[in-house]
Amino acid sequence: MSDIYIICVEDEPQVLDVIVRDLAALEEVFPIELAHSADEARELIKEIKEDGHKIGLALCDHIMPGDNGIDLMIEMQKDSFTENTRKVLVTGQAGLEDTIQAVNKARLNRYIAKPWDPKDLLEIVKDELTQYVIREEKELLRFMAVLDQERIQEAIRTKGYV
């Protein structure tokens, strides 16, 4: 069975360390992978694709050396492999124009301001992943343990399969 990955793109190693920690509760169901730049992220996405897995969610910083986070997300939106990946911007600063771009062109789903509250982060990530699996996955039972149980149960009922 293919895995659904969470990828985190962030140029500051210390920030990456703490994001991974905050999401650890999801890791057994949704493996987390990291990238320090848009280039590393491209390589990572390629690898995940080649291994036959999926990417359910991308958490992305905006200002990074090389291409910025929004450029990367727009690119992901254009690629059918990552088109349906939930996209979350985690940033200390993105101008209005950048954010508008991200919403319009990258179908940005969420915006998390740094520094974040870990509960909010986890809630947002769970919420986004719940939407992702309901839309993309047939076998939903295995996500019950870590995601929004009520909505998944509801989805199982309406879809009519387990």
Partner 1 sequence: MPENKNLSKEQSPNVIGASARPVYDKSNFVKTIKDEIPNSLLLKSLKKVFNEGEVMLSEKDVNDRLYIILDGYVAQVKEDEDTGTQIGMHGPGDFIGLLSFQTGEPVFTTAKASTKVVSLCFDHHSFEVFMNEYPQISKTLQGLIFSNLADRYRKVVMLHVEVANLSRQLEEERNHLKQIIRELERTRNALISQEKMATLGELTAGLAHEINNPASALLRSVEYLSENLPAMAERASALPDTGLVRYFFEAGAQREFTDTSTHRSRMKELKTIYPELSRTMLRTMAEMDAVVFEKLKSFMGSSKNQPLLQLLLDAYQSGIFLNGIKLSTSRIEYLVKSLKSYSRQGGKDPEVSDIRQGIRETLQIIGNRLKDIKVETEMEDVCLVNCFVGELNQVWTNIIINACDAMEDKGALGISCKADKERGLISITITDTGPGVPDKIKTRIFDSSFSTKTAGGDFGLGIGLAITKTVVEKHHGSIEVKDREGGGAMFVITLPAAR
104 sits near partner 1 (criterion: CB under 8 A)? no
CA 17 – CA 10 distance, rounded (Å):
10
The closest alpha carbon to 60, from 79, 47, 76, 84, belongs to 76
The closest alpha carbon to 67, from 50, 43, 33, belongs to 43
Q: Output 34 or 72, the one with its CB closest to partner 1.
A: 34
Q: Output 14 or 158, the one with its CB closest to partner 1.
A: 14
122 sits near partner 1 (criterion: CB under 8 A)? no
64 sits near partner 1 (criterion: CB under 8 A)? yes
53 sits near partner 1 (criterion: CB under 8 A)? no
Total number of residues binding partner 1 (CB under 8 A)? 38
Question: Measured on CA atoms in the order 60, 66, 70, 71, is the torsion positive or negative?
Answer: negative
CA 88 – CA 29 distance, rounded (Å):
19
Q: Which residues bind partner 1 (CB under 8 A)?
A: 11-15, 17-22, 24, 27-28, 31-36, 40, 43-44, 47, 62-66, 91-93, 95, 113-116, 118
